[in-house]
Amino acid sequence: MKDCWFFLKLFKPHSRWLVGGILLSLVTGFASIALLTLSGWFISASALAGLVVIDGNVLAFNFMLPAAQIRALAITRTLGRYGERLVTHEATFRVLAGIRSWFFEQLIPLTPGRLSVLRSGDLLSRMTADIDALDALYLRLLAPALVAIIGVTAVTVFLAFYAPVISVSTAFMLLIASVGVPWMFNYLGRVGAEDMVVLAANFRIRQVDMMQGFVDLIANQAYERFSHFLQQFSDLLINTQRQNNRLSAISSAITFLLAQITVLLALVFATILYKEGLLLGTDLVLVIFCVLAVFELVTPLPLAMQMLARTQKAARRIRQVTEMSPTIPQVIQALTLPDRYDLHVNNVSFRYPDQQHWVLKNISLDISQGTKVAIVGASGSGKTTLLQLLMRYYDPDLGNILLSGKDLMQLDSEQLMTCFGVLSQRSQLFATTIKQNLLIAKPTASGAELSAAIKFAGLDKYISYLPEGLDTWVGESGVKVSGGEARRIALARLYLKNAPVLLLDEPTEGLDSATELEVFKALSVFATHKTVIMVTHREAGLGLVEVVYKMEEGYLNKLF
C-alpha cells in the first residue's frame, strides 16, 4: 500500500480539482438518495391523501412543495452527474499528466546507463499502461470510498430519527457490503490482478519486438513461430482477465443480494414499528426507499478493491524504475564551466555496472582546444565508451577526466552537455517535421539560422523538391527519409548547436562513398576552429584530423 500512498502525494498540486470532484460526487449521491426517498414518500402520501379517517377528518398534504423538490432533485442529480464526470476525469487527466512529467524527470539521470538494462517494450509499458492504471487511485478508490463513508454515515444518522433498529441493521449490512465483500474479493483477485499487469507488460514487449524485427522474421520464416508464442501470451492474459471478471460479477451479485436482504429486513422492522404505532405509513415507505437507495454508494467498492492489487502492482513497477540509482551522482555544488575546452584523460579505467570485464584500461589522453583527433579500432574495442565518459554518461572507475583542469565529476551534467556537439552512427529522428527535428538542437533558431544549417548540410536541394518543404513529416524514426538525408539532418543539428567540441561516432557509417565525401567536406569547414574527437573503424575521414590513436582491447596507443 505504501506504493499507492507515494503517488497520492503527487496528487497535491491538483487538490482543488480532486476535492471538487469528490464534492460533486457527494452532491450527486445525496441527490439520488433523496430523490428516490422523497419519491417513495410522495407516492404513498398521494395514495393516502383524501382518505376519510375515523374521526371524520380528511387526510391532506401540500402537493406542490414535494413535487417541486422532486424536480429540483432530478435536475440536481443530472447536472451533478455531468459535473462530477467532467471534474473527476479532468482531475484524473491532470494527475496522470503530472505523473508522466515526473516519471520522465526521474528517467533523465538514468540515461543511458541504467535504462539500457530495460527492454524498450517494458519501459514503454511502464510509461503508458502502468501510469494509466493509476487512474483507479482517484476515480475508483479514493473518491468512491470517501463518498461512501460520508454518505453511509449521513444516511445512517437520518434513519436513526425514524427507526433506530432499521438504522443499526442497515449500517451493519452496509459495513459488510462496503468492507467485508471488497476485502474478500480483493484477497481472491489479488494474484490475478497482479498477473494481469505483468502479462500485459510481457505481451507489449513481444509486440514491440515483433514490430521492430518484422522484416527479419519474414526473411527467416520465423514469423509464424513468434506469432504463435504471442498468441499463447494473449490466451493466458485473456484467461486471467476472464477469471477476474467472474469475481467481479460474483461480487456485484453478492452486493445486490445484500441490498435486497437489507431492504427485506427494513421492511420487516418497519412493519412491526407501524403496527406498534411507532412509524407512520408514509414514513414506512420513506425508510424503505432510503435503504434501497443508499446501496448505490457502496456498489462500486468491491470492484474498486479488486482493482487495488492491479494498481499497487503498477505503482510498484513504476517506482522500481525511478528508484534505480543513476550511473553518475548528482553534484551538490557544481563548479562553473571553464572558458577553455582542453580535455585531459588521466589513467582512466572503466567497466560497465555488473560486469567484470574492463572495457577501458589505464587510458591517458590530452586533447588541447582546437585539436582534431581520431580513435580507430575494431567494433567493441571501447571507442564509443570513451566518448560516453567524456559526456559523463558514466564516471570512470579509476582515474579522472578534466576539462581545463576541472574534474567532470564536479561539473553540472546538463551544463557540460552544452560543450559537446554529437554526430553518432545512428542519429534519432523523431516522428515530426524536418523543421522540428532541426529545432531540437536550438529551439530559438531563426529562419536565417535554419537556412544556413540546411545549406551547410547539403539539404537545400533535397528540401526544394519536397512539396511541404521543412514542414515535411519524416515518419516514425525517420522511415520516410533515406539514410543519407537522415545523416544530413543530424549534421544540420550539429551546425545549429555550434558546440566547441565535436564528438563524431562513426559519422558516415552506412553511407555511400559520394555522400560520405560530402559529409566530411562539410565537417572540415565547420570544424576549423573546433575540437574534434572522431571514433571510427574505417580509414575514411582521417584527413579531417591531425592525430590518430588506436584502441585495441581497451588500451589506447598513438599511431601518428
What SS3 state is found at 481?
A: coil
Q: Are strands 372-376 and 398-403 parallel, antiparallel or unpaired?
A: unpaired
Angle, alpha carbons 14-17-23 (nearest 5°): 140
Q: Other C-beta atoms within 10 Å of 520: how many?
A: 18
- The answer to whether residues 359 and 350 touch, using CB atoms and an 8 Å cutoff, is yes
Question: Which position has the grid cell 498477473?
Answer: 195
pLDDT score recorded for residue 264: 92
C-alpha cell of residue 192: 490475478
pLDDT score recorded for residue 61: 59
* Alpha carbon of residue 158 to chain centroid: 44
pLDDT score recorded for residue 54: 46
Residue ranges per domain, the chain?
13-322, 343-558
Strand partners, 348: 363
Q: What is the pLDDT along the chain (560 residues), one digit of tens a residue?
A: 677 778 788 888 888 998 999 999 999 999 999 888 888 888 877 776 655 454 555 555 567 787 888 899 899 999 999 999 999 999 888 888 888 888 888 887 777 666 766 766 677 777 777 788 888 888 888 888 888 899 899 999 998 988 899 999 999 998 998 888 888 888 887 788 778 878 877 787 777 778 777 777 787 888 888 888 888 888 888 888 888 888 888 888 898 999 999 999 998 998 888 888 888 777 888 889 999 888 888 888 887 777 777 888 888 888 888 877 777 777 777 788 888 888 999 999 998 877 788 989 999 999 998 898 988 888 888 888 888 888 888 889 899 999 888 888 888 888 888 889 888 877 788 888 888 988 888 888 888 888 888 888 888 888 888 888 888 888 877 778 887 788 888 888 888 988 899 998 888 776 777 777 877 888 888 888 889 998 887 777 788 888 888 888 888 887 77
- The answer to whether residues 504 and 535 touch, using CB atoms and an 8 Å cutoff, is yes
DSSP string, 174-222: HHIIIIIHHHHHHHHHHHHHHHHHHHHHHHHHHHHHHHHTHHHHHHTT-
Q: Which CATH superfamily is domain 343-558 in?
A: P-loop containing nucleotide triphosphate hydrolases (3.40.50.300)
CATH code for the domain defined by 13-322: 1.20.1560.10
Amino acid at 114: R
Question: Which position has the grid cell 533535397?
Answer: 462
Neighbour-count burial of 263, counting CB atoms closer than 10 A to its CB (0-12 exposed, 13-18 middle, 19+ buried) = middle
pTM of the model: 0.74
What SS3 state is found at 90?
A: helix
Residue 397 DSSP one-character state: S
Distance separating alpha carbons of residues 227 and 392, to the nearest angstrom = 41
Can the peptide bond before residue 507 be classed as cis, meaning omega within 30 degrees of 0? no
User: Which residues fall within 8 angstroms of residue 188, CB to CB, at 6 or more apart?
Assistant: 247
Distance separating alpha carbons of residues 530 and 546, to the nearest angstrom = 13
Question: Which position has the grid cell 520522465?
Answer: 104
